[in-house]
């Protein structure tokens, strides 16, 4: 169990449970694609619709004409169905005009109700001689059959959802040849087949299914080129027209284990999907294709509209209910869909979905998904959006290029959908994880950091490293000078002393926090703080110095308030003076302590030196003393004054220490420049053993207007020089002064 827990923790650190969840999700989405889940297919076909709307097929030729049983023809010739003799005249006229193939997008499934023999038995008051003459006349169906034999005619048939009981299997069928596996298991299978009357079927040159099945959303995108109907393999009406036009006796069906690949006749191979459907490359609705049937019957049609054309006879009349929705038109007559198939095939403007297309889509989804899982947690949001937009553009561009340049339908929506789902899952799990981290941080740090800093850490948990880590930091120690004296004045008022401590510790704390500092601890009247942990702070030295100056300014304000209160209350006033030590260096910072009690604190030589510097502030007469690293980092922003070269007790290397005398405006003032020059001269003489020169520089400094500022410093060096006169330092002395106390 222990090893299992260790393995689980290792996995969580190295890989992350969010990535594991996303891998499982990637596999799940891949399974949905393999099953071609309905919403995924819907998104794919809608994308292909959009392509066609933006770039429909451009007609380069018009090899097809539609003879339209339109409203005009119905108004002049009467309601549908017309007598078969009129249809025969229509066929005869078209043949005379040079039609290559004539196809009916209507079905003549029953004998003409106006056949002469039917009239003989139906009309009243006819004498027997008239009835005999009528019965001797050929039927209207026979007249149409005779007209059909003088031209190449394809009759339309329809697949039905129910089997026809009296199905004539002796009627002619189109020859078929199978190349590859058995394609029938992939074909659309209609239990029944509605055919034309036997006399017409026998006379027709070909037969084809005019059945067009809209997809789930009612849009016609694909038309089956080969189907099963009541056990018979049937071509579509449009493909049978191609067969008849090319003079081919046989249709070739190519298939493999994955499904049907194409159907072909001499000179034409039409790529299909696995079910034998052709993706129709639609052009926009074209009124110039249509010729009213009444114009053909009355001889008012231009011969070039019919000659050498494939002719479809159908209807655009709304009342005959043959209106379809396509990707490029909300209302296209069904007969024009057959015409569009023929035009696309004859002008070689066919669409196809290549067999490798799904594999390509699948591979793109897997590769992009793995890349997102691997690298998304490492990038920022802007980078992720930019990279995501780039990949989306590449996918959409590749799909659009395949469509416009090669007429290939390759789906980009599935890879995008899959990648988006995984990315959103990563965002969600990251959000949940961050909320948990924020709760953990509030719990862990709330006991020893300010609420403002805790909230800042909670909002940026990635900047926090729990446990010990090594980093460069700036450390501050501050202490109230003469606090023992102040405390004695509150012997009889301990509550007053507590209130006073809170009163001066509050502004000092606020000054530190306002400059991104972290309060390490309070030690009576003293404060320990640090910068650049737990949050990164590139300007930690500057912020620490600003905080120190701000602390002095806030104490000045507090002293003025207390002085006024003392005057009004009639009691003595003891000002509060604060000494501050700052030092920058490499430290170890983190949670330190025991299992029962711990603090977020810092350790290192730099911490010790900062504490020593704070203790020396009263000796040098400056409230803010800083180490050399701090001074060098802030010298352009503050008035820096070199004080000494000291050897701290317990350290082997001496340290140059400095005073912060003010901000940049102070550094630029003439008064500070004079003081600094005198100090530099004095230190140079002192370290060069020129005791007289050093004393002379001190005397000149005491004559300036700001002599009081450096009085303690001058006294300190004067005492040292007098001591060195009596007991000179060793020959290898480098100017460093060893502090005797910590």
* pLDDT confidence tier of residue 361, bands split at 50, 70 and 90: confident
Instruction: Report the length, in residues, of the chain.
Output: 742
| Nearest Cα residue to 239 out of 254, 221, 256, 227 | 227
Query: Does position 625 have pLDDT exceeding 80, yes or no?
Result: yes
Residue 615: inside a domain: no
Read off the pLDDT of each residue in 604-627 and give the average, rounded to a whole number. Answer: 92
Instruction: Return the ∠ at Cα 383 (arms to 379 and 384), rounded to 5°.
Output: 70
Is residue 315 in some structural domain? yes
Least confident of 220-224, 280-284, 364-368, 501-505: 364-368
Distance in angstroms (rounded) separating the CA atoms of residues 247 and 149: 15
In a domain, 447, yes or no: no
Measured CA to CA, the distance from residue 206 to residue 214 in angstroms comes to 25
Tell me which long-range contacts 677-681 makes (C-beta under 8 A, separation of at least 24).
678/704, 679/641, 679/642, 679/710, 679/713, 680/642
Domain match, 38 and 110 both = no
Q: Is the same domain home to 24 and 77?
A: no
Angle at 246 between CA 241 and CA 248, to 5 degrees: 95
pLDDT tens sequence across 394-452: 888 888 988 889 888 888 887 887 777 777 777 777 777 777 767 766 666 654 455 65
Mean pLDDT, rounded, for 670-699? 91
Pairing of strands 598-603, 577-593: antiparallel
Q: Which among 319, 346, 373 is the end of a domain?
A: 346
Q: Tell me, yes or no, whether 430 and 529 share the same domain.
A: no
What span, in angstroms and rounded, lies between the C-alpha atoms of 170 and 201?
10
CA–CA distance, 63 with 283 (Å, rounded to integer): 14
State whether 221 and 192 are in the same domain. yes
Same domain, 334 and 286: yes
pLDDT tens for each residue of 119-137? 666 676 676 776 677 676 7
Above 90 in pLDDT, residue 309? yes
Q: What is the DSSP letter of 236?
A: B
Ranked by mean pLDDT, which of 377-381, 524-528, 533-537 comes out on top? 524-528
Q: Report how far apart, in Å, the C-alpha atoms of 111 and of each of 244, 301, 362, 428, 437 are.
A: 26, 29, 54, 69, 83
**Spatial separation of the C-alpha atoms in residues 195 and 168, rounded to whole Å:** 9
3-state secondary structure of 249: coil
Residues 6+ apart with CB under 8 A from 656: 628, 631, 642, 644, 645
Which residues make beta-bridge pairs with 66?
290, 312
Q: Is 452 inside any structural domain?
A: no
Residue 8 lies in a domain: no
Sequence-distant (6+) residues with CB within 8 A of 542 are 633, 634, 637
CA atoms within 13 A on the CB side of 465: 10
Per-residue confidence (pLDDT) for residue 512, from 0 to 100: 92
pLDDT at 482 over 70: yes
Kindly state whether residues 23 and 141 are assigned to the same domain: no
* Closest C-alpha among 530, 526, 542, 540 to residue 614: 526
At residue 328, does pLDDT exceed 70? yes
CA distance 715 to 692: 15
Contact by Cβ (8 Å): 226, 189: no
Residue 68 pairs in a beta bridge with 292, 314
d(CA 38, CA 42): 6
Backbone angles phi, psi at 598, to 5 degrees: -145, 160
- pLDDT mean over 181-191: 90
**CA distance from start to end of the chain:** 52
- Does 595 score more than 80 pLDDT? no
pLDDT average, residue stretch 360-377: 77
Question: Can you list the alpha helix ranges (DSSP code H) found in 123-189?
Answer: 128-136, 140-149
Whole-number mean pLDDT of the chain? 85
Tell me whether residue 10 is in a domain: no
Q: Within a domain: residue 79? A: yes
Does residue 148 lie in a domain region? yes
What are the φ/ψ torsions at residue 48 (nearest 5 degrees)?
-65, -35
- Domains in the chain, number: 4
Q: Is the pLDDT of residue 16 over 70?
A: no
Q: What are phi and psi of 521, to 5 degrees?
A: -165, 160
Same structural domain for residues 312 and 366?
Answer: no
For 529, the enclosing helix (H) or strand (E) is: strand 526-531
Angle ∠(430,434,436) on CA atoms, nearest 5: 120
- Residues 6 or more apart whose Cβ sits within 8 Å of residue 228: 184, 187, 188, 189, 190, 234
Chain center to CA of 588: 40
Find the radius of gyration of the CA atoms of the chain. Answer: 49
* Residues 247 and 386 placed together within one structural domain of the fold: no
46 and 100 belong to one structural domain: no
Written as six digits, the tokens of 482 are: 């003469």
Last residue of a domain, one of 317, 346, 375: 346
CATH classification at residue 496: 3.30.70.1230
124 vs 497, higher pLDDT: 497
Burial 311-320 (b: 16+ CB within 10 A, else e): bbbbbbbeeb
Of 296, 285, 294, 288, give the one whose Cα is nearest residue 333.
285
Token pair in block for residue 278 = 């052709």
Q: In b/e form, how buried is each residue of 52-69, taking b as 16+ CB within 10 angstroms?
A: beeebbebeeebbbbbbb
- Is residue 77 within 8 A of residue 86, CB to CB? The reply is yes
d(CA 290, CA 282): 17
Q: Are 332 and 192 found together in one domain?
A: yes
Pick from 139-143, 217-221, 473-477 the range whose average pLDDT is largest.
473-477
For the segment 692-718, the average pLDDT, to the nearest whole number, is 86
Long-range contacts of 138-142 (CB under 8 A, 24+ apart): 139/84, 139/111, 139/112, 139/115, 139/199, 140/83, 140/84, 140/85, 140/88, 140/112, 140/114, 140/115, 140/116, 141/84, 141/108, 141/111, 141/112, 141/115, 141/197, 141/199, 141/200, 142/199
Verify that 81 and 44 share a domain, yes or no. Answer: no
CB 35 within 8 A of CB 281: no
Strands across the sheet containing 175-180: 175-180, 250-256, 259-265, 268-271
669 against 318, higher pLDDT: 669
639 close to 662: Cβ distance less than 8 angstroms: yes
Same domain, yes or no, for 103 and 217? yes
- 377: number of Cβ within 10 Å: 16
Flag the least confident range among 231-245, 356-370, 603-617, 659-673.
356-370
Identify the domain containing residue 566 by its residue range: 465-602
Q: State the pLDDT at residue 445.
A: 60
User: Which pLDDT does position 10 carry in this prediction?
Assistant: 47
Q: Phi and psi of 423, rounded to 5°?
A: -65, -45
Angstrom distance (rounded) from CA 257 to CA 271: 16
Query: How far from 520 is each of 533, 583, 640, CA to CA, in Å?
Result: 11, 15, 26
Distance, CA of 128 to CA of 134 (rounded, Å): 10
Angle at 603 between CA 600 and CA 605, to 5 degrees: 160
Residue ending a domain, among 323, 346, 369, is 346
Per-residue 3-state assignment (H helix, E strand, C coil) for 479-523: EEECHHHHHHCCCCCHHHHHHHHHHHHHHHHHHHHHCCCEEEEEE
Query: In sequence order, which residues have a C-beta less than 8 Å from that of residue 517 and are 6 or more positions away?
Result: 476, 529, 530, 531, 543, 544, 547
């Amino acid at each position: 169990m222990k090893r299992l827990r260790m393995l689980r923790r290792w996995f969580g650190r190295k890989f992350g449970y969010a990535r594991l969840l996303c891998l499982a999700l990637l596999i799940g989405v891949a399974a949905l694609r393999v099953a071609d889940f309905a919403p995924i297919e819907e998104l794919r076909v809608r994308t292909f619709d959009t392509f066609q709307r933006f770039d429909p097929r451009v007609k380069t030729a018009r090899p097809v004409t539609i003879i339209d049983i339109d409203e005009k023809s119905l108004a002049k010739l009467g309601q549908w169905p017309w007598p078969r003799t009129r249809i025969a005249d229509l066929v005869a006229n078209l043949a005379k005009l040079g039609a290559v193939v004539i196809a009916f997008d209507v079905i003549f499934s029953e004998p003409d109700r106006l056949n002469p023999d039917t009239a003989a038995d139906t009309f009243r008051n006819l004498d027997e001689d008239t009835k005999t003459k009528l019965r001797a006349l050929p039927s209207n169906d026979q007249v149409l059959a005779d007209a059909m034999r003088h031209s190449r005619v394809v009759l339309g048939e329809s697949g039905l959802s129910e089997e026809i009981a009296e199905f004539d299997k002796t009627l002619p069928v189109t020859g078929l040849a199978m190349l590859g596996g058995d394609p029938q298991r992939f074909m659309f299978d209609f239990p029944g087949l509605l055919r034309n009357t036997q006399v017409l079927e026998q006379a027709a040159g070909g037969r084809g299914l005019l059945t067009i099945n809209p997809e789930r959303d009612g849009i016609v995108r694909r038309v089956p080129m080969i189907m099963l109907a009541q056990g018979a393999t049937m071509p579509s009406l449009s493909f049978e027209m191609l067969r008849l036009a090319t003079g081919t006796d046989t249709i070739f069906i190519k298939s493999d284990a994955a499904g049907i690949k194409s159907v072909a006749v001499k000179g034409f191979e039409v790529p299909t999907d696995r079910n034998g459907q052709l993706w129709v490359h639609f052009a926009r609705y074209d009124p110039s294709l249509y010729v009213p049937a009444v114009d053909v019957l009355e001889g008012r049609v231009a011969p070039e509209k019919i000659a050498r054309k494939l002719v479809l006879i159908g209807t655009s009349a709304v009342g005959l209910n043959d209106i379809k929705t396509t990707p490029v038109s909300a209302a296209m007559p069904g007969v024009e869909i057959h015409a569009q198939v023929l035009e696309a095939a004859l002008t070689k403007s066919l669409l196809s979905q290549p067999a490798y297309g799904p594999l390509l889509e699948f591979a793109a989804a897997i590769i992009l998904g793995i890349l997102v899982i691997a690298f998304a947690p490492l990038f920022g949001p802007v980078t992720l959006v930019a990279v995501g937009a780039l990949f989306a553009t590449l996918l959409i561009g590749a799909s659009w290029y395949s469509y416009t340049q090669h007429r290939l339908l390759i789906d980009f929506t599935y890879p995008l959908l899959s990648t988006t789902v995984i990315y959103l899952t990563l965002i969600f799990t990251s959000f949940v994880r961050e909320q948990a981290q924020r709760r953990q941080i509030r719990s862990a740090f709330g006991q020893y950091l300010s609420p403002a800093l805790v909230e800042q850490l909670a909002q940026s948990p990635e900047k926090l490293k729990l446990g010990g880590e090594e980093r460069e930091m700036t450390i501050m120690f501050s202490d109230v000078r003469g606090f023992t004296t102040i405390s004695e004045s509150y012997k009889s008022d301990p509550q007053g002393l507590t209130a006073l401590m809170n009163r001066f510790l509050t502004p000092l704390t606020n000054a530190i926090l306002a400059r991104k500092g972290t309060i390490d601890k309070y030690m009576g009247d003293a404060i320990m703080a640090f910068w650049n942990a737990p949050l990164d702070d590139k300007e930690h030295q500057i912020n620490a110095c600003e905080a120190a100056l701000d602390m002095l300014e806030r104490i000045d304000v507090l002293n003025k308030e207390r002085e006024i209160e003392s005057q009004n209350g009639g009691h003595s006033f003891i000002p509060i003076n604060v000494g501050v030590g700052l030092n920058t260096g490499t430290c170890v910072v983190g949670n330190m302590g025991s299992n029962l009690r711990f603090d977020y604190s810092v350790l290192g030589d730099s911490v010790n030196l900062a504490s020593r510097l704070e203790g020396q502030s009263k000796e040098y007469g400056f409230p803010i003393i800083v180490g050399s690293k701090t001074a060098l980092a802030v010298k352009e922003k503050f008035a820096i004054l070199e004080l000494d070269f000291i050897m701290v007790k317990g350290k082997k290397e001496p340290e140059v220490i400095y005073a912060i005398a003010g901000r940049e405006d102070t550094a630029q003032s003439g008064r500070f420049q004079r003081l600094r020059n005198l100090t530099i001269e004095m230190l140079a003489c002192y370290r060069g053993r020129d005791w007289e020169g050093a004393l002379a520089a001190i005397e000149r400094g005491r004559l300036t207007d700001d002599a009081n500022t450096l009085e303690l410093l001058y006294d300190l060096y004067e005492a040292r020089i007098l001591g060195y006169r009596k007991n000179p330092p060793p020959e290898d002395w480098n100017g460093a002064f060893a502090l005797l106390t910590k």
